[in-house]
Amino acid sequence: MDTISLVSGDGVANLQVTLVRDDTGLSFNAGGADVNLRLRKKGSTAVLATINYANDASDPTDGRVVFNMSTFLTTADEGFYEGEVEVTFADDSSQTVYQIINFRVRAQF
């Protein structure tokens, strides 16, 4: 997967992901579940932020979830980060997307 480039301090940065089943290639129905993006500094084990998907911009029943990155970017230092998507269902069981999302954050001019 490519590295997603972001700028520290941006207030309108969004990340859209589409959850797809490996076995069928169809979108994953995450309706009724919490979908979160957990972020950490590359090479670290400490989770720096957990971002819940934006309800108004997402359609989790069709696998499409949007994360508002602006809160993370207000405190993010310049550098490399990685994120993982985790889906938590109503019965508290969870499923983590295997593929890691890579980010690069640069400072404002």
Among candidates 5, 19, 27, 3, which has minimal Cα distance to 76? 5
CA–chain centroid gap for 65, Å, is 9
Q: H helices within 1-109, ranges in order?
A: 70-75
Determine what percent of the chain is predicted with pLDDT higher than 90. 89
CB 9 within 8 A of CB 74: yes
Give the pTM: 0.91
Residues 12-60: tens digit of each pLDDT: 999 999 999 999 999 999 999 999 999 999 999 999 999 999 888 889 9
